[in-house]
């Protein structure tokens, strides 16, 4: 019998629309994957009365209540004391946490402001959950068959605490485990994929298969439920295989986080280094590759050649190429890649040039993007298939994914000999 869960987010900034409640999205996905039925999201501001009412409602109807926000050091951070009051619990000081807070401030050469002390007060009898990414520790309380877990509001802290501490804590309470696997697909849109995988999607029960689109790719989540992790994993295998058979090389990753991760794996496997030369993406491709720990083994050099003058001076693009074909051309992309390969001394070079918009150029529409590759297979350059858009950031991010995908296919070809 599945337990019910409720997500209660505390923060006036959400009610004002200053931030979108992505915490609720993340927690909903995670709780569903753990086998909980999420029946309510609630958001209230930093207001004692309304928070107390929301906590009462949540405790009356849900087995598990996850709160986010209101754990900070300021007078309007009220979550812990409000939950404690609703459960009839007193607050108590944890001297070790207070000492740790004071020490943190001292290490920065500062005296802890008095108001920070409240971060060391917790409902009596709770389980403290460490916060390795911020100052406010979290906590979990169990009482009368109800569990309340209080997490900080900043998504980075919340997600890290969730993954490291809360998932193991909740998993031990469930008699079934869920295993989810993620299949990432490029070049096939969500609805086209849904048509091609119709039977798999429509009739999926255990494992379930659900598609998500975003960031220029489509993700399929395959989730199986069983008594053990091993059993659940085994149930996903034929489903993942069926997806692989249908998608071929457009399925770029299973159980890997991102395109840059897959490209980095391939580079490492081949013993290659890469350099990039970016115009339209303005450094974002380099930024993605170097986001991964250990990327300094693979990535040596990036050029952001935004002007034509710099395309010549830095990447060695011939003036005639720019004159004859303009900077928005396969010829320029090829020259950028060749110049970058020569000047960086890396194994392979990736180049990208295009029009981000919102405005068109006289000779090329916003959303036009060319990619260039240079390396052991020789030089290649072509126009990327992009969805037409005047949204600058959308186009830049899509160009990143598609350019990295072009590099992935180039590397795959080398790997396969």
Q: How far is the CB of 150 from a second copy (least distance, A)?
A: 18
CA of 351: how far to CAs of 22, 302, 333, in Å?
Answer: 34, 10, 6
- Specify the stretch interacting with a second copy by CB under 8 A; choose among 9-17, 226-234, 235-243, 371-379: 9-17
Only one residue has tokens 């830095």, namely 314
Q: Does 365 bind a second copy (CB under 8 A)?
A: no
Q: How far apart are CA 279 and CA 63, in angstroms?
A: 53
Q: How far is the CB of 241 from a second copy (least distance, A)?
A: 22
Which residue's CB is nearer to a second copy, number 72 or number 123? 72
Residues 378-407, interacting with a second copy (CB under 8 A): 387-389, 391-394, 396
List, in order, residues 6 or more apart from 122 with CB less than 8 Å away.
80, 91, 92, 94, 128, 137, 139
Residues 308-347, interacting with a second copy (CB under 8 A): 309-310, 313-314, 343-345
Out of 90, 130, 163, 192, which residue is the one contacting a second copy (CB under 8 A)?
A: 192
Binding-site residue total for a second copy (CB under 8 A)?
101
Residues 229-268, interacting with a second copy (CB under 8 A): none
Q: How far is the CB of 392 from a second copy (least distance, A)?
A: 6
DSSP 3: P
Q: How far apart are CA 210 and CA 223, in angstroms?
A: 9
Q: How far is the CB of 155 from a second copy (least distance, A)?
A: 9
- Specify the stretch interacting with a second copy by CB under 8 A; choose among 138-146, 262-270, 294-302, 331-339: 294-302
Q: How far apart are CA 270 and CA 406, in angstroms?
A: 16
Q: What is the largest CA-CA distance in the chain?
A: 79
Out of 10, 43, 170, 337, which residue is the one contacting a second copy (CB under 8 A)?
A: 43
Q: How far apart are CA 327 and CA 273, in angstroms?
A: 26
Q: How far is the CB of 125 from a second copy (least distance, A)?
A: 28
Q: Does 13 bind a second copy (CB under 8 A)?
A: yes
Residues 194-233, interacting with a second copy (CB under 8 A): 194-195, 202, 210-214, 221
Out of 90, 231, 257, 300, which residue is the one contacting a second copy (CB under 8 A)?
A: 300
Residues 71-110, interacting with a second copy (CB under 8 A): 72-75, 107-108
Which residue's CB is nearer to a second copy, number 293 or number 378? 293
How many Cβ atoms sit within 10 Å of the Cβ of residue 230?
11
Contacts 24+ apart (CB under 8 A), 244-252: 244/183, 246/196, 246/197, 247/183, 247/185, 247/188, 247/193, 249/409, 249/412, 250/185, 250/186, 250/187, 250/188, 251/183, 251/184, 251/185, 252/184, 252/185, 252/186, 252/217, 252/405, 252/408
Which residue's CB is nearer to a second copy, number 19 or number 377? 19
DSSP 237: H
Tell me the two tokens of residue 391: 């949204």
Alpha helices in 128-174, H assignment, sequence order:
155-161, 167-171
Q: Does 14 bind a second copy (CB under 8 A)?
A: yes
- Taking CB under 8 A as the rule, which mask of x and - marks residues 115-144 in contact with a second copy? xx----------------x-----------
Out of 10, 30, 140, 321, which residue is the one contacting a second copy (CB under 8 A)?
A: 30
Which residue's CB is nearer to a second copy, number 234 or number 313? 313
Tell me the two tokens of residue 407: 């590099």
- Specify the stretch interacting with a second copy by CB under 8 A; choose among 69-77, 137-145, 231-239, 242-250: 69-77
């Amino acid at each position: 019998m599945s337990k019910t869960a409720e997500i209660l987010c505390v923060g006036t900034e959400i009610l004002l629309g200053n931030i979108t409640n992505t915490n609720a999205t993340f927690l909903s996905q995670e709780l569903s994957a753990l086998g909980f039925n999420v029946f309510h999201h609630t958001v209230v501001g930093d207001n004692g009365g309304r928070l107390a009412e929301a906590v009462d409602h949540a405790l009356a109807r849900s087995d598990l209540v996850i709160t986010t926000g209101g754990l900070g050091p300021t007078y309007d951070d009220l979550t812990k004391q409000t939950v404690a009051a609703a459960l009839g619990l007193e607050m108590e000081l944890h001297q070790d946490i207070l000492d740790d807070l004071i020490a943190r401030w001292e290490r920065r050469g500062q005296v802890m402001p008095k108001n920070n002390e409240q971060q060391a007060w917790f409902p009596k009898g709770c389980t403290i959950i460490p916060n390795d990414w911020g100052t406010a520790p979290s906590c979990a309380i169990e009482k009368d068959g109800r569990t309340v877990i209080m997490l900080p509001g900043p998504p980075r802290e919340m997600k890290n605490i969730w993954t490291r501490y809360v998932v193991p804590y909740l998993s031990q309470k469930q008699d079934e485990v869920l295993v989810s696997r993620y299949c990432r697909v490029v070049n096939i849109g969500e609805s086209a994929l849904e048509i091609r995988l119709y039977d798999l999607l429509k009739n999926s029960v255990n494992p379930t298969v659900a598609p998500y689109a975003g960031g220029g790719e489509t993700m399929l989540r395959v989730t199986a439920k069983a008594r053990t992790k091993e059993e659940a994993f085994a149930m996903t295998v034929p489903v993942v295989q069926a997806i692989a058979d249908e998608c071929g090389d457009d399925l770029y990753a299973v159980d890997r986080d991102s395109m840059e991760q897959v490209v980095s794996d391939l580079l490492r496997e081949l013993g290659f280094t890469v350099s990039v030369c970016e115009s339209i993406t303005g450094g974002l491709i380099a930024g993605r590759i170097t986001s991964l720990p250990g990327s300094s083994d693979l990535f040596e050099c990036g050029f952001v050649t935004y002007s034509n003058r710099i395309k010549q001076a830095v990447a060695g693009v011939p003036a005639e190429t720019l004159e004859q074909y303009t900077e928005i051309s396969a010829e320029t992309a090829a020259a950028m890649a060749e110049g970058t390969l020569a000047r960086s001394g890396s194994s392979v070079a990736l180049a990208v040039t295009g029009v981000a918009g919102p405005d068109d150029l006289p000779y090329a529409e916003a959303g036009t993007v060319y990619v260039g590759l240079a390396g052991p297979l020789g030089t290649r350059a072509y126009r990327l298939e992009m969805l037409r858009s005047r949204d600058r950031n959308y186009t830049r991010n899509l160009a990143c994914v598609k350019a990295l995908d072009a590099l992935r296919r180039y590397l795959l070809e080398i790997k396969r000999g």
